Structure 1
Amino acid sequence: MAKNDHNLSIGDKDCPLRVGFLLIPGFALMSYASAVEPLRAANVLTGRNLYCWRHIAIHGGETAASNGVRIHADASIANVGRLDTVVVCAGGNPQTFDHPPTLAFLRSAARHGVRLGGVSAGPYLLAEAGLLDGYRCTVHWEHIPAFVERFPHLQLSHSLFEIDRDRFTCAGGIAALDMMHALIRIDHGAGVAAAVSDWFLQTQIRRGEVAQRLSPTERFGVHHPKLVETLLRMEQKIETPLAPSELAVCVGISLRQLERLFARHLGTTIGRRYQRIRLERAKVLLRQTTVPIGEIALATGFAAPMHFSRSYRRHFGVAPRQERKAR
C-alpha cells in the first residue's frame, strides 16, 4: 500500500489514484454506486486516468448487496495489492459484523498511510477498528443510536459527510455524491469536481454539514410550530421523558392547548405519541446493539422491564426478545 500526501493533486496519466472498495456483505448499493460512479466520470470527462479502482471482498469471489445484486471482487483482503484509498461499503446491521482479519486489514492500511473512508454503515467498521479516534465522523442516522452506545468517545456529527485529514465518512445514500464532489475537488480541483456533478445532473451540491434528515415539518407531516417543537423535544428526551405539563411549559402554551393540537393534527394523545417515539428508538437499539434488554428499557424511559415488554408487544406485535432474535 502506497503512502500519499492527500492535500495535493495526486492523479495523473502515469499514476492514477488507486481506490479499493471494500464490500461488506449486505452493503448498500445506492451508497456504493454514488461513490464509485463519480470516479468513472472524472476519468471520462478529463480523458485522463485519474482514478482506478478495485472491488475487495473479505474472501474474494462475489459479495451480495442488501438488495441481492452481486458484485464479483477483484481481490480479497489477503491479496489486495497497492492502494491509496480504501472505501468501506456496508449496510444492514454493522453491529453484528465480527471478522477480526478485516479490522486488521484496515489497521494495516492506516499504518501505511492509506486514506480511509466509509459510507452508510461503513464508518461503524472504521470505528470498530479504532481508526476514527480523534477524527470528526458521521454515520447514517439509522445507525446513530447504536453508534453512540458503542463509541461514546468519538466526535460524531449528524451531517451528510465529514472529511477530516485522511479520514472521510458519509451517511450514505445519495449523500455520497456530495462527498465525492468534495474529494475530487481536493484531488483534482474545482473544475473537475464541477464537471462531474454537472454530468450527474447534480444541480445542487450540498456541503458536508447539511443535516441528514428532512426538516421536522416534512418529517412529522405537521406545520404547527408549537407541535413541531414539542415533537422535537420528545425525540431529545428519550431516557428521561417529560410529563405532558412540562412539554406544554417548554413550548409556551397550556396543557389543554397542547392536547388539542395532538388530537387535531395527529389524531392521538401526547402520551401515546411520546411512547411511540420511545419504542421506535428501542427497536433500533434492539436490532443494532447487544445492550441488554433491561438497559434498553431504561434508556428509553421505561422504569420496569415488564412494562417495557408489554408496551413493545402491544405496539409492534412481538416481544423485545423476539425482535432481537429476528434481526
Structure 2
Amino acid sequence: MSENDCPDQPPAHVGFLLIPDFAMLPYVSVIEPLRAANRLSGRTLYRWSHISIDGQPAAASNGVRIQTEFRIGADAHFDYVFVCAGGNPALFADSATLAWLRQIARRGAKIGGVSGGPYILARANLLKGYRFTIHWEHAPAFLEEYPELDLRRSLYEIDRDRLTSGGGTAPLDMMHAIIAREHGTDLAMAVSEWFLQTHVREGTGPQRMPLRARLGIAHAPLLRAISRMEQTVETPVSRDELARVAKVSLRHLERLFRQHLGRSLGEHYLALRLDRARDLVRQSSLSVLEIALACGFTSASHFSRTYRARFGQAPRTERLSETTAKRR
C-alpha cells in the first residue's frame, strides 16, 4: 500500500470513451489491469464505465460491441477518462464529443488516450503544452497536422494529468506505472505477474522493432543507410550522402541493396516514400498535393502516376474506396 493509499478512499471512477472502430487490444490492456488491481488487493480500487457518442453499444474494429452506460455530455464524475480509438482518427470531428472532453478536463479528470486516442485529444486542444505519444501508424499524418505539438515516439507518456499510449500492449506498461504511483510498486508488480508480464517496459522505449530485427539484416553499413532514408522521407537526401552515412562507396552500397533486399537503393527509397504516402492517404485528410510534398515529390501529377504504378490505383481513388468501405 502506498503512502497515498487510504482504506476509506472511494474507488477511482474510470471512463472509457469508445470511438467507433476503436482498437480492442489497447482498450483491454487498460481495463484488465484495473480488474486485476481490485482482485489482488482485495479491495475495489477502481470502478469503470463506458461512454459512446450516442449512448449505444460501441463497435470495435474487430466487430465486438461493448455495452455503454453513458453518452457524451453525461453529467457524471470521472477521475480518469481514456479515449480509445483506431481506424482513422484523423477524420474524427464530432464537435459535441470534443467539447465534452474539454469540459471534463476542466473539471479535473485525468485525460488519457490510447492507440489513435491522442489524435482526438489534439482535436479537442487538450495536448498543448504536454508531452505525449500516439501509435506509429498515425504519427506521420499527425505530424503534418500538428507539427507544433510535443509528440514523442515512445511506448507511453505520463505528463501530469495526460496519459497517452501508442496502443497494442503498451498500455499494460503504462497501467503498471499508474498503479505503482497510486497504490505502490508491490501491487503493480503483482498485476504485471498476473498477466505473465515478465518484463515491464519503460515509457521511453521504442514502439517499433529495431531495423535489424524488422528487416532481418545484420549488415551495419546497410542499416545506417536505411535508417537515414526513413528519417528523410520528406526531403530525400542524395545517393552520395547515403553512401557517406553508410561509410562505404556508392557502388558497394548499391551492391548491398541488391544482395540483401533484392532491389536498388533508389527503388527502396521510393518504396519507403510511397508507403508513407499511402499511410497519409488512408490516415489523413491532406490533399494529394500536400501528401506529395510531404513524401518528397515535386508535383501531384508525378506522385499520382508513381503511386498508381505501385499500388494499382491513384491516391484519390484509393481514398474514395477507403471512405466508401468505412460507411458500409
**TM-score normalised by length of structure 1:** 0.95
The number of aligned residues is: 321
Unmatched segments (≥5 aa) in structure 2? 323-328
Q: Residue 286 of structure 1 aligns with which residue?
A: 281
CA shift for structure 1 position 67: 0.5
Q: Distance in 2 between matches of 1:136 and 1:146?
A: 18
Structure 1's 147 and 44: CA in aligned 2 closer, same or farther, altered over 3 A? same
CA contact (8 A) 1:94 1:288 kept: yes
Question: Which residue type is aligned with residue 29 of structure 1?
Answer: M
User: What is the aligned counterpart of 2:104 among 94, 109, 127?
Assistant: 109
Q: Residue 3 of structure 1 aligns with which residue?
A: none
User: What is the aligned counterpart of 2:161 among 166, 169, 173?
Assistant: 166
User: What is the aligned counterpart of 1:149 among 122, 144, 155?
Assistant: 144
Q: Residues 208-227 of structure 1, C-alpha deviation per residue, up to 9 Å, x if partnerless?
A: 00010001101122110111
Structure 1's 12 and 98: CA in aligned 2 closer, same or farther, altered over 3 A? farther
Q: Residue 65 of structure 2 aligns with which residue?
A: 70
CA shift for structure 1 position 152: 1.1
SS across alignment from 1:141: coil
Q: Distance in 2 between matches of 1:160 and 1:8?
A: 28
User: What is the aligned counterpart of 1:316 among 307, 311, 326?
Assistant: 311
Q: Residues 118-170 of structure 1, C-alpha deviation per residue, up to 9 Å, x if partnerless?
A: 00000111111011110000000001011111111111100000000011100
SS across alignment from 1:89: strand
Q: Residue 229 of structure 1 aligns with which residue?
A: 224
CA shift for structure 1 position 61: 1.7
Between 206-215 and 74-83, the greater mean CA deviation after superposition: 74-83
CA shift for structure 1 position 326: 2.2
Q: Residues 79-137 of structure 1, C-alpha deviation per residue, up to 9 Å, x if partnerless?
A: 25111110110001001112101001100011111100000000111111011110000
Q: Residue 16 of structure 2 aligns with which residue?
A: 21
CA contact (8 A) 2:49 2:68 kept: yes
SS across alignment from 2:138: helix
Q: Distance in 1 between matches of 2:162 and 2:218?
A: 39
How do residues 38-117 of structure 1 correspond to structure 2 at under 5 angstroms? 38-79=33-74, 81-117=76-112
How do residues 255-294 of structure 1 correspond to structure 2 at under 5 angstroms? 255-294=250-289
Q: Residue 4 of structure 2 aligns with which residue?
A: 9
SS across alignment from 2:137: helix
Q: Distance in 2 between matches of 1:121 and 1:295?
A: 22
Question: Which residue type is aligned with residue 43 of structure 2?
Answer: R
CA shift for structure 1 position 11: 6.6
Structure 1's 157 and 14: CA in aligned 2 closer, same or farther, altered over 3 A? closer
Q: Residue 202 of structure 1 aligns with which residue?
A: 197
SS across alignment from 1:142: coil
SS across alignment from 2:49: strand
Q: Distance in 1 between matches of 2:286 and 2:110?
A: 32
How do residues 184-195 of structure 1 correspond to structure 2 at under 5 angstroms? 184-195=179-190
Unmatched segments (≥5 aa) in structure 1? 1-6
Q: Residue 128 of structure 2 aligns with which residue?
A: 133
CA shift for structure 1 position 10: 5.9
Superposed CA RMSD in Å reads 1.4
Q: Residues 159-190 of structure 1, C-alpha deviation per residue, up to 9 Å, x if partnerless?
A: 00000001110000100100000011111111
Q: Distance in 2 between matches of 1:171 and 1:95?
A: 15
Between 72-81 and 122-131, the greater mean CA deviation after superposition: 72-81
Question: Which residue type is aligned with residue 227 of structure 1?
Answer: L
**Sequence identity of aligned pairs in percent?**
53
Q: Distance in 2 between matches of 1:275 and 1:21?
A: 40
CA contact (8 A) 2:13 2:79 kept: yes
User: What is the aligned counterpart of 2:171 among 169, 176, 179?
Assistant: 176
Structure 1's 14 and 304: CA in aligned 2 closer, same or farther, altered over 3 A? closer
CA contact (8 A) 2:93 2:123 kept: no
Q: Which runs of 4+ in 1 moved over 4 A?
A: 10-14
Q: Distance in 2 between matches of 1:277 and 1:18?
A: 44
SS across alignment from 1:169: strand
